[in-house]
Homo-oligomer: A and B are copies of this chain.
């Protein structure tokens, strides 16, 4: 474990047993190609100015004339035969909450399901009470703690949603808490407004009025303050209808914000009309219809699968990744970090779930958490694969074979993180 952040204009990661370059690509990997992760044995990576300068065979790289004559300027990390890959990208999280939902947890063990807990006043609404009662500083501290826990397990980019405020002030406060935390965190945070997470208690029976408020007040103000890159909506039974969801996404587009949507977690949505709003991703996708899978296969919208929620809710079934992959839909994976249905910051555990319970190969799961997750956040030009000129975000795992990252479970094997070309401390 590295304890200090040491700045360095040039950094060489040497003695890498397996380097996963993801072929340096800028497009989502699909179908059979999802398995192609660009593995280079006995490799090295040279970083400079926060970017990848070269990534490939160590023997070739060490022959580079510039490197030979400038070796003293270059800080070196001996990777000791470990595996190096792009920093993992967690493209779906809800980190702005005040505390764990332990009562829900015990109720569920006693037999209540997600919707029964919500109906009993637990669920998302209890987190709403927590966020409304907390200060921006308190929330920011919790967000930063979560980001650091994610970093410790190999994650260098995190999408972070609001969604437990549900008033103009509390959604702004949540997004400001994300921004404050992001400023203190070495990785990159992509903020998303999820005011349309659930209809707040005070709008019970008046969902359309709340949607109007989201569209006419919240989205414009968030856009003006530049507090979010995306607007998300939870389109499902118990949350927002298809029609309401489309309104939210249309308002986002009107204000030049990107779009994404929670769909098909409990019931199937019609994805065609939602696709009109060019969402970067559709998330959950447990019960997506075959005809909608074909739509995804033809487009750029990424299916983000969130098996942590299935795990934590005690479900026997997981999202059907194979059906999506085999049809050619671009697939990503994320933690869904949140207090009600997926309290884990661990992308390696998501890799484990994808392999053991969704029958993705370790290579497919790694592509889904690097280049494809970058595509889900539309930052594939800078993130998610190793190519000269891309951001130098790298995770070093204490394993000799990349498959071990998904094989050992609930065992943090990430030993070093490089973010924007700098070594960052993991003991935070």
Chain A contacts to B: CB under 8 angstroms: 1, 100, 102, 105-106, 108-111, 149, 153, 308, 311-314, 316-317, 343-346, 348-349, 352, 355-357, 359-362, 401, 403-404, 406-412, 427
A412 to B317, CA, bound (A): 26
Q: How far is the CA of A1 from the CA of B348 in the complex (A)?
A: 22
B-chain residues with CB within 8 Å of residue A412 when the two chains form the complex = 412
A106 to B308, CA, bound (A): 21
Known A100-B404, A105-B362; further 12 A-B contacts with Cβ < 8 A: A100-B401, A100-B407, A105-B407, A109-B355, A109-B362, A153-B410, A311-B356, A346-B410, A348-B410, A349-B409, A410-B410, A412-B412
Q: Which chain B residue has the least Cβ–Cβ distance from A402?
A: B102
CB distance from A392 to the nearest CB of B (A): 27
What would 23 A/B residue contacts be, using CB atoms closer than 8 Å?
A1-B427, A100-B403, A102-B404, A105-B406, A109-B361, A149-B411, A153-B410, A311-B356, A311-B409, A313-B356, A314-B356, A314-B357, A316-B317, A343-B408, A343-B411, A344-B409, A345-B410, A346-B411, A348-B410, A349-B410, A352-B410, A409-B410, A412-B412
B105 close to A409 (CB less than 8 A)? no
Contact B102 A411 (CB under 8 A): no
Q: CA A312 – CA B356 in complex, angstroms?
A: 6
Which residue of the partner chain, among B102, B308, B311, B410, contacts A403 with CB atoms under 8 Å?
A: B102
Task: Enumerate chain B residues within 8 angstroms of A360, measured Cβ to Cβ.
Answer: 109
* Cβ–Cβ contact A411 & B344, under 8 A: yes
Cα–Cα, bound, A313→B345 (Å): 23
Contact across chains for A102 and B407 when beta carbons are under 8 A apart: yes
In the complex, which residues of chain B have a beta carbon less than 8 angstroms from the beta carbon of A346? 409-411
> For the complex, what is the distance from the CA of A134 to the CA of B308, rounded to whole Å?
37
Closest to A317 in B: B316
Contact across chains for A361 and B106 when beta carbons are under 8 A apart: yes
A35 CB, nearest partner CB in chain B, Å: 11
In whole angstroms, what is the CA distance A162 to B403 when docked? Answer: 26
Q: Are A359 and B109 in contact (CB under 8 A)?
A: yes
Closest residue of B by beta carbon distance from A339: B407
What distance in Å separates the Cβ of A175 from its nearest Cβ neighbour in chain B?
A: 24
Inter-chain CA distance A407–B343, complex, in Å, is 7
Q: Does B408 lie within 8 Å of A362, measured CB to CB?
A: no
CB-defined contacts of A108 to chain B, threshold 8 Å:
356
A274: min CB distance to chain B, Å: 31
Distance between A317 CB and nearest chain B CB, rounded to angstroms: 8
Which residues of B sit under 8 angstroms from A427, Cβ to Cβ? 1
In this complex, what residue of B is CB-closest to A403?
Answer: B102
- Bound Cα distance A355, B1 (Å): 32
The CA-CA distance from A147 to B127 in the complex, in Å, is 38
Contacts of A355 in B (CB 8 A): 105, 109
> CA separation between A410 and B313, bound complex, in Å?
15
Output the least CB separation between A117 and chain B (Å).
Answer: 14
Report the Cα distance A348→B102, complex, angstroms: 16
Contacts of A344 in B (CB 8 A): 408-411
